[in-house]
Copies of this chain bind each other. A is one copy, B any other.
Amino acid sequence: MDPREPATTNLLLKAFELPEFEAFDSEPGSDAVPRAAPGLLPLSVQSVDMCLQTNKTNHYTSAYKIQNLVIRRGQEFIMKVTFSRPLTQTDDFQVEFMIGSKPVTSDNTMVVATFDSRRRGPWSGRVVEARGQVLTLGITPTANAIVGKYSTWVAIVMANGKQRTKRDAVTDLYLLFNAWAKDDAVFYPNEAGRREYVLNDHGIIYQGSIETADSVTERSWDYGQFERGVLDACIYILDVSKMPIADRSDIIKVVRKGSAMINVQDDNGVLVGNWSDNYSMGTPPTSWTGSVSILLQYASSGVPVCYAQCWVFAGVFNTFLRCLGIPARVITNFISAHDNNGNLTTNLIFNSDGSLDTDDTKDSIWNFHCWNEAYMVRADLPPDLGGWQVVDATPQENSDGYFRCGPASVVAIKEGLLCHPFDLNFVFSEVNSVVVSSTKDRYGTLTTFKVDKEYVGKALYTKAINSTAFEDITITYKYPEGSVEDSLAMARAQEYSSQCSLPKLPKAWLFVKMSAAQVKLGQDVNLVVVFTNQSDVTQTVRANLTGSVTYYTGVRARDPFKNLVFSVTVGAQQEQSKTLNITAQEYLANRGSLVSLSFVVSGHSGEQSVSATQVVTLQTPELTVTVSGTPRVQQQMFVSVSFTNPFSFTLQDVIVCMEGSGLISPKQHSYSTIAPWAKITWKESCIPQVTGLRHITASLDCSDLRGVTSTLCT
């Protein structure tokens, strides 16, 4: 077959122009009979009103800052058509909606609504009210209609052909997924959830570490899905992806394509990932406070935006999903494994001196990783695997050839049902991977000394509905460790993966633990290492401590800043502790976006090796956001951001940003230097556009201090 190019461009509706008069083919043997009764004036359309106010309220789309009608599928909307005269029994008309450059009936890129006697659909129509020459029409797009921007045409049907209205951009409409419609694949069953997961344009993303108390941090994120230009940007993304218009009715294909397009890999997508700590050619991932400026920059330039790490990918993807009407949320997985070969284990390989073998260790573990969940029916899978689905736009691992991930059913992950699409193996590993630590000997062969089944996937958090608190959703991903259900799910998962049997370990008699308190950036760290000897003889443990700077994602710098060899003698059936002091000077030599320090202690005595890790989160200095007075719509007010440099060194090339959807557009201010202990204050005026609770998010970023953010709720 001659492969026909499917239509893949939605935004350029102009590319398709219908003839105003379309003659019918003469049917063989049938004479042309005029439909209008003799004596009547010919019927024509004088005006079309899309009833924006009424429809937007009924469809929960008032917040979209857009001139055109925005509605949700599977739900009636109205339009008023003024004809040249009142209609008679013999008059006939229909309303046509077209999307993409090659609209045809068979794939629903051209859909017709008919009324009363000639009801054929596929979009059902009814005359709600007829007042003289003005008809109010009710039209219900099917609940599986294509999502995107349509042009609208009223056609008067005559004996010899159809007379269409002229193309009028004012009557173009945007059709979205509908979490309120029972027949839509994205139907979400309660109103509080729909308001949070579809309509909330602000959120909180959890970060940091869960290893020590209070080390989970919050990052405020401005999703801004209703801001001017954002909906067009989301459709533009699908156009760039060359996704056929006809596929855009399918929630599974849309979210999968979205997860591929939010990262630049393969397809010239939205965001360029950068975990190098050198962000000089773009914006540091830590300095973004929301999605709007990223999406607008991408849509206006067509050029991928620099730079992102996981929470930026997840934040922008969340905007994309909510903007198109899909219930979505950002999830943080603490202690997230990245299993390179899909065998459900994470292999850490150590050299004989106790240091990590960075060439041979392909798998890795991040302090935290962010992804998205989207809510949908999974008609392609057995029943009960619908609901929340993991989708992940961070380019970690390619899925079947592309950097994309999901949709992966959360229920299937919990049950270990990894035999279904998409990417269940990979996501299952992120939350359940078994960590296998091995030493590589001089011959290049490996000896396993530790198998840890509980380390990975410590907890999963997301922002709670209608609250600024977090919700712990770990139980939706995994049964409690040690439960019968957990064993069953793990067994099922292993059946569907390439995991080999885990190595058996010789009985251990040497153990090590390490602990440390959380400290402020700039303070010394005290590590306490405790060795326990359960053998019946005194042991001399030769130990090695490595300290590395850890960036936001839990990625360690290649070169450790500390490497200490020491030895400890432990009596039979005794334990022995040792306190190791790491000064601020030692780790501050590695300034930058460091947010935590990662320590690995390893030791061996005779045949036995042990190791332990400890992450120390560094609390960043505070940024203060204040507003003057009570915000009132259309009244000027002021927002102030202030900061004091707590360090003994000068901060250079400091960028401060603020934004707040509905209140203040994204703004940025630069300081070439902030001296030691100096305070800066930046004040901006703004005029609130909408009522209700609003958020202002500020961030401060420079090469020596990353990821300082603060949010004020006003």
Q: CB within 8 Å of B: which residues of A?
A: 1-4, 24-25, 27-29, 94, 96, 104-107, 110, 112, 114, 118, 120-121, 144, 157, 162, 246, 250, 256, 260, 273, 275-276, 338, 340-341, 347, 349, 351-353, 359-362, 364, 366, 379-382, 395-396, 400-402, 418-422, 425, 440, 442-446, 496-498, 542, 553, 555, 565
Contacts and interface: CB of A to CB of B under 8 A. Distances in A.
B4 A362 contact: yes
B1 A112 contact: no
Contacts of A112: 443-445
A555 B2 contact: yes
B364 A157 contact: no
Nearest to A161: B442
10 contacts: A1-B553, A2-B276, A106-B361, A106-B362, A121-B445, A144-B498, A246-B341, A256-B400, A381-B419, A400-B400
Contacts of A4: 362
Given A27-B353, A104-B360, 10 more contacts: A1-B338, A1-B364, A2-B555, A27-B352, A96-B444, A105-B349, A107-B362, A114-B445, A157-B443, A380-B418
Nearest to A94: B443
B107 A341 contact: yes
A504 to B, nearest CB: 15
Given A1-B275, A446-B105, A353 B28 contact: yes
A383 B76 CA distance: 47
Nearest to A361: B106
A421 B421 contact: yes
A106 B382 CA distance: 37
A204 B338 CA distance: 46
A482 B553 CA distance: 58
Summarize A's interface: helix, strand, loop or mixed: loop
Nearest to A108: B341
Contacts of A395: 3
Contacts of A3: 273, 395
A118 B443 CA distance: 10
A254 to B, nearest CB: 13
A480 to B, nearest CB: 26
A68 to B, nearest CB: 24
Contacts of A246: 341
A565 B27 CA distance: 12
Given A28-B565, A565-B28, A401 B110 contact: no
Contacts of A362: 4, 104, 106-107
A381 B496 contact: yes
A554 to B, nearest CB: 9
A104 B1 contact: no
Nearest to A442: B24
B444 A351 contact: no
A256 B418 CA distance: 19
A546 B343 CA distance: 58
Nearest to A398: B244
A114 B443 CA distance: 10
Contacts of A364: 1
A294 to B, nearest CB: 20
A263 to B, nearest CB: 11
B379 A496 contact: yes
A361 B276 CA distance: 51
Contacts of A1: 275, 338, 364, 366, 396, 553, 555
Nearest to A365: B1
A380 B497 contact: yes
A275 B2 contact: yes
Contacts of A444: 96, 105, 110, 112
Contacts of A425: 380
Given A1-B366, A359-B104, A380-B497, A25 B349 contact: no
Contacts of A114: 443, 445
- Top 5 nearest A-B pairs (CB, nearest first) are A24-B442, A120-B445, A106-B360, A381-B419, A104-B360
Nearest to A358: B4
Nearest to A447: B120
Contacts of A341: 107, 246
Contact of A440 (B105, B275, B446, B555): B105
A498 B250 contact: yes
A25 B382 CA distance: 55
A420 B114 CA distance: 40
Nearest to A159: B442
Contacts of A338: 1
A542 B29 contact: yes
A110 to B, nearest CB: 7
Contacts of A396: 1
B275 A496 contact: no
Which residue, of A106, A114, A395, A440, has the highest number of chain B Cβ atoms within 10 A? Answer: A106
Contacts of A106: 347, 349, 360-362, 446
Nearest to A395: B3
Nearest to A382: B419
A312 to B, nearest CB: 15
A492 to B, nearest CB: 10
Contacts of A382: 419, 496
Contacts of A380: 418-419, 425, 496-497
